[in-house]
Chains A and B, each alone.
Chain A
Amino acid sequence: MSAAQALPAPARSPGFFEALAPGGKRALFVLGLIAVCLLFAFPVFWLVLTSLRPGYAVYYVHRGTDFTLDNFHDVISQEIVLKALWNSFAISTLATILSLGVTVTSGYMLSRFRGPIPTAWFGAIYVFRCVPYVSWVLPLYFVTRQMGIFDTYWGLLLPHVAVHICFFSWIMKGFFDGIDPSMEYAAMIDGCSRWGAFLRVALPAAVPGLTALAILCWLYTWNEFLFALILTAQNTPILTVVMAQFVHELGMEWHLMSATAVISLIPALIVTIFGQKYVIRGLKV
């Protein structure tokens, strides 16, 4: 918190709210807070409520008092959902590790060097960052088929890494820009190689930023839909796709969809609750 709040407030003539009602400003503030929280929480609250209703009562969620956990039981006993849960988890974790590994070096290079190579690379990632997903996810379907990795882990994993390269290199550059390079120079004068200076001096200093990025990357991959929709089929079911399939034109199984969605929210919730302080701290660097 800034020191500004610690200073005694200078005397001011009472404003509109103080004149209206003593403590009114405070009440207004609290009301505003509650309204904002309601707006943000309502869709999630409604999702949880829908997931707890039996199938026959789902169309009148706001009426009746029948609640049940059967939906969760139904969903969990479907083999495809369990498989999708595991696949989503594995893909998100692997994609996070690979993306960070690939981009940390690229960001370091962008931050520490000048000249035609970094300039060209920066221009390339900026342009590729802008290319819309549809212009490469449609042909990517044919490309992964040609490579024989369609509908496998690699076929989804590597495109995900490619998605992250541009943005993460940019962010990583920012992290390393905030770290004073003189320590690395000192290490190199003392006989450390360039790799040594990077791995032993610069990398440990960037850990807060890396943690923040890892959390965001994991959440992003866990929630991703378009790539999973196009690049996977029966062999590699992904949770977001399986979930969306519960509400088709053929059958609107809102209760089962909601139960799956709630299950998919739990890991994300854990990651966010435990990770948010690292994210805010890491992004501040």
Chain B
Amino acid sequence: MTLRKLFTFDEKKRFMLALIAPAVLVLIFFQVLPILTGANASFRDWHLHDPQKTWIGLTNYAYVLRDAEFLGTVLPNTFGFMFASVFCSLVAGLLIALLLNRKFAGRGLVQTVILLPLMVAPVIAAIMVRWMFNDQFGIVNVILDVFGIAPLAWLTQKWTAFFAILLTDVWLWTPWFALLLLAGLQSLPPEPFEAAQIDAASAWRTFRYITLPMLRPVIVVCVVIRAIDAFRTFDIVWTISGGGPARATEVFSIYAYVEAFQFMNFGRGSAAAVIGAVIIVVFAMGLYRILNRWVEVSK
């Protein structure tokens, strides 16, 4: 295609551009512009209390990439959290979708109960978890006490705090997986299942060799979307542990936020944000390749 052809606007092209124009405008002003502002700030000496805004090149990047906190804690936490959260909520969501796909009395009620987390704001869930895991007054320790287990200071140790955060995330997102997978299950054609039943296939083999392969496109899309979202989790970590104890549960979003708004170094926070963005975009490109091979998304 020649350049001239690319820049002549016939009636069809004008229609196409008109269709996306509002979206493009909003995207430019409220996403591209801020991202560029942030990228610009990442090359500058931009302290919030004393914004010199002098150009310092890659100093901020060098600091973040050499920071033991970032390499040793933040990156492993972020990826560990992403894998654990996606895996657990996928398995739980799939089980629940299979459960809800059967007919039984009271299914509507069960479905509404399981969808409860979808209407709870992540902040509320996080505050509730902080309250329930409170070491002095929390209900979790009370229940543990009934079973004769000594109370734990959940949120002041790294792994227990991490567990509480993970639990919240799985609780919040399992219904989302269940909802999408249930919609997927209900749109599967019934014939293969009838054939399997005539052949007296066991429930497990029917699931393993018919349901799972047929559901794969939905699963792949869900996993990609959720993995990208889990990478940038902010609010539940911020509310439950604030990245503590002593920055042990910081994930990448928290790191950038803390550098920018608590240590008041906007330039350094922006550099961290850019590094994180590059990592996830590269990661997402890889995922997209796999996705494209498995399911056709953009024909």
List residues of A whose CB falls within 8 A of some B CB: 1-5, 7, 9-10, 12, 29, 32-33, 36-37, 39-41, 43-44, 46-47, 50, 59-62, 101-103, 105-106, 108-110, 113-114, 116-119, 121-122, 124-140, 142-143, 158-159, 161-162, 165-167, 169, 194-195, 198, 219, 222-226, 240, 243-244, 247, 254, 257, 261, 264-265, 268-269, 271-273, 276, 279-280, 283-284
Contact = CB atoms under 8 A, between A and B. Distances in A.
B112 A273 contact: yes
A243 B121 CA distance: 11
Q: Looking at B11, B33, B130, which has the most chain A CB atoms within 10 Å of its CB?
A: B33
Contacts of B252: 132, 134
Nearest to B78: A132
A261 to B, nearest CB: 5
B122 interface: yes
B37 A223 contact: no
Contacts of A134: 232, 234, 252-253, 256-257, 273, 276
Contacts of B260: 138
B299 to A, nearest CB: 8
B284 A130 contact: yes
A98 B71 CA distance: 40
A162 B26 contact: yes
Nearest to B125: A43
Given A47-B128, A138-B270, 10 more contacts: A40-B117, A113-B12, A125-B27, A130-B280, A131-B31, A135-B35, A135-B270, A138-B273, A165-B23, A268-B121
B137 interface: yes
B121 A240 contact: yes
B281 A130 contact: yes
Closest 7 CB pairs of A and B: A223-B121, A268-B119, A135-B273, A132-B232, A162-B30, A139-B37, A2-B190
Interface string B255-299: 011001100001001100110110011001000100000000011
Interface residues of B, number: 98
A226 B200 CA distance: 52
A59 B111 CA distance: 32
Contacts of A122: 298
11 contacts: A40-B114, A40-B116, A40-B171, A139-B270, A194-B15, A222-B121, A243-B123, A243-B124, A244-B123, A261-B121, A283-B180
B182 interface: yes
Q: Looking at B19, B175, B200, which has the most chain A CB atoms within 10 Å of its CB?
A: B19
A95 to B, nearest CB: 11
Contacts of A265: 119-120, 124
A62 B200 contact: no
Interface stretch (B57-65, B148-156, B191-199): B191-199
A261 B64 CA distance: 38
Interface string B78-104: 000000000000000000100100111
The main secondary structure of chain B at its interface with chain A is: helix
A5 B127 CA distance: 43
Interface in B20-42: 20, 22-24, 26-27, 29-35, 37-38, 41
Given A37-B110, A43-B128, A126 B34 contact: no
A138 B38 contact: yes
Contacts, number: 261
Nearest to A170: B297
A254 B131 contact: yes
A244 B239 contact: yes
Interface string B228-242: 100110110001000
B215 interface: no
B223 interface: no
Contacts of B131: 46, 50, 247, 254
Nearest to B183: A283
Contacts of B256: 132, 134-135, 138
Contacts of A158: 26, 29-30
A283 B19 CA distance: 23
Contact of B26 (A43, A60, A161, A273): A161
Given A10-B198, A243-B124, A225 B34 contact: no
A126 to B, nearest CB: 7
Q: Looking at B29, B111, B116, B284, which has the most chain A CB atoms within 10 Å of its CB?
A: B116
